[in-house]
Structure 1
């Protein structure tokens, strides 16, 4: 009996000494970094350092034991050749990553969320930028006559270790918005005069600031971030469109002026104005002008997108809302955030999980974007050239009537009148049919 008690005490002591267990491991390869996530039973103290010749990354976990199998991790697409581990100092755990080349590590712990428990996150950052450079290599978007495409950067929210909101049936926001973003990109790329780029093409996380940085690398004319809303109760529903608030613009101007590295960034929205060498007052004025122009353009395109969404789905609010979202804070690129619906609402969760509904949303967003740029194309683009060529009485564009359209609504959105549309299209009355194509005269 005494022997059994002693053995039980020894087992209990070993459990205490072992401390936190590493219960799982996941890998999220992205273009500019790879994220390694260790699921732990609780908070864990850790230390990370690099070794050369050969390249390795060492992760020491205090009072920890291994409870998973590293050999089953798929390392393809990552800079890791092998993951190995061993006990250290009796109670600790050492994890070693054998690397293909030197990387810059960054580590932190995450609190539990809806999907995961405690986690230790280690980012392996590609300082050479080789994979990022390939991902953001410029596309030829200009023809021999100098008429370039309008570039729309589409940002699928969340990703990787960040699932976003999760619906009652387990539908994850990060999956829904990525599929919708890809559909929207396909629609844009199929349209002559437009090119779409994605901030992420797979299930990995991109930092909020890096999303706007990618838009700048692509020389974007518009940045569209796609999300799915959530609330603590299941009742709220409907789609929303957001632009940057003035308060968010003010704080962002201060941040840009406070960071010296931003002084050399070009403000494309203001015609290539640089803050480099400007005193604080002049730089502040230039940023305010650029930010104001960007917000006004964002509200314009947001209103166009919201109008199209309102024809196919229920709206949460009838007007474009404004908030200080980080991804909207580019001072030189018009930016909107589209909340496709409330994933916390059981009906909308079911809709968002279906391809037909996501396609309906993507089509509406695309229609709103195209309508805005047909009306106000950026200088030097194919659409601006076409509008210039069509001045003097010929039609600027053609429009196909959709469900819910009225001739008065089409006239209002294209800054013309019902009588002018009727005259231009040889119509005897203002009735239109779904699928009918009408010509829009130049304003």
Structure 2
């Protein structure tokens, strides 16, 4: 009798234990950004998965080992134009689940698990790069069809999604502060004739730091501004700072702290793709890439100094000179890039300031004023601002200069200079400010 009871108990316990150990899908979340759709599957435990793609029709198939297929796959988020449906299909075995993501067109998948953090448990993230994605529509200059007429400013709101960034003493998330300032800066940039903003993150979702400069490059940005709120292990530090890329170790203790908390990447970023395996081509590409990086870093430093000058009218600066660190978001070799820390969210007073909308507006305005001053001096060739500068060149007459000499120097006619300045004679005086017309 007891033997029969024990056997029955074993047969009941074993399947019950197996069922209890089985993983389950709890929720499905969907978000979109330019050219990419992200699906996040919240799971009870760490996922074990394999996947493959199929065509005719296009779909992504994911096999989850030891996972139940009883949970709903519906999402409260919009699926967007790329994903048609998320459904189950016949699994490999009774202990696994097979997910099928029906696609409207071909997409390049990237899948990775995330361990519990930021109030979320285990997750499986599926990023789908849309094959039909194209950069934002541009206005082409008829005299130079190689680029946009507008100066394009990529604005990156740090952190996002399951990564809240630093958290203030009162519970303020850095990701919310950075997104708010980024949207305010975006509005100011878009209101300026001849400029247009490219938002890197438009909502509460996560983008890998190495992907952010890639998005800026894909949209042909002239500048990348990444916005963050600083933090430290103690509440005392306060004030803003501006960071540029360091090719070596960070030059301050705070910089080394930041490097530890940011995801590292290769310094050449996505542009390393231009380096081939052929020896001669590789050396040439490395040389060109090095020159481009030098120019980008010099431009970033010049802009950083202007940002600091403007920001110190709004807030105390923790550092009054640009700081250097090896941060992944700054690694684009062909786009000047800066990271702006708007203050220490770990400082109670600065956390309070950053929660004030008017204060965030003033910070955004200070960044824009610096950007405008920078590009007024060095507008990219082919832009509307470059044509304005060309049309409004001025020259202060020095000793020994004449109209004919200036005409030769600027490659314009003497008559054109006289007409632009309403001159009736060829005589000019020392210190006279002349408008030099475009050629």
TM-score where L is the length of structure 1: 0.73
* CA distance in structure 2 between the partners assigned to 1:95 and 1:44 by the alignment: 13
Q: Are 1:216 and 2:243 counterparts?
A: no
The answer (yes or no) to whether the contact 2:268–2:333 under 8 Å persists in 1 is no
Give 1:350's aligned residue.
352
5 Å-filtered alignment, 1:247-262, equals: 247=248, 259=272, 261-262=273-274
* CA distance in structure 2 between the partners assigned to 1:220 and 1:360 by the alignment: 24
SS in 2 for 1:64: coil
Q: Are 1:63 and 2:66 counterparts?
A: yes
The counterpart of 1:116, out of the listed 107, 114, 120, is 120
Q: CA deviation at 1:190?
A: 1.8
Q: 1:153 to 1:54 in 2, by over 3 A?
A: closer
* CA distance in structure 2 between the partners assigned to 1:376 and 1:203 by the alignment: 34
Q: Are 1:84 and 2:87 counterparts?
A: yes
Q: CA deviation at 1:36?
A: 1.4
- Range 12-21 or range 216-225, more displaced: 12-21
Give 1:199's aligned residue.
200
Q: CA deviation at 1:392?
A: 3.2
The answer (yes or no) to whether the contact 2:244–2:301 under 8 Å persists in 1 is yes
Alpha-carbon RMSD: 3.7
The counterpart of 1:312, out of the listed 306, 311, 314, is 314
SS in 2 for 1:69: coil
Residue segments in structure 2 that go unaligned for 5+ positions in a row = 251-264, 398-433
SS in 1 for 2:248: helix
The answer (yes or no) to whether the contact 1:105–1:124 under 8 Å persists in 2 is yes
Number of residue-to-residue matches in the alignment: 377
Q: 1:97 to 1:14 in 2, by over 3 A?
A: farther
Q: CA deviation at 1:309?
A: 0.8
- Range 209-218 or range 236-245, more displaced: 209-218
Give 2:330's aligned residue.
328
Q: CA deviation at 1:111?
A: 1.4
* CA distance in structure 2 between the partners assigned to 1:47 and 1:152 by the alignment: 39
Q: CA deviation at 1:4?
A: 12
Q: Are 1:137 and 2:147 counterparts?
A: no
- Which structure: larger Rg? 2
The answer (yes or no) to whether the contact 2:269–2:332 under 8 Å persists in 1 is no
Q: CA deviation at 1:8?
A: 11
Q: 1:91 to 1:189 in 2, by over 3 A?
A: same
The counterpart of 1:295, out of the listed 287, 297, 300, is 297
Q: CA deviation at 1:86?
A: 7.2
SS in 2 for 1:60: strand
Q: CA deviation at 1:100?
A: 2.9
Give 1:163's aligned residue.
164
Give 2:408's aligned residue.
none
Q: Deviations over 1:275-299 (max 9, x none)?
A: 9996444443333322222111111
The answer (yes or no) to whether the contact 1:85–1:96 under 8 Å persists in 2 is yes
- Range 66-75 or range 193-202, more displaced: 66-75
* CA distance in structure 2 between the partners assigned to 1:178 and 1:23 by the alignment: 28
TM-score where L is the length of structure 2: 0.73
Give 1:154's aligned residue.
155
SS in 1 for 2:120: coil
Q: Deviations over 1:169-214 (max 9, x none)?
A: 4433333222211211221222233232222333344443433233
Residue segments in structure 1 that go unaligned for 5+ positions in a row = 265-274, 395-440
The answer (yes or no) to whether the contact 1:34–1:78 under 8 Å persists in 2 is no
The answer (yes or no) to whether the contact 2:25–2:43 under 8 Å persists in 1 is yes
The counterpart of 2:49, out of the listed 46, 50, 56, is 46
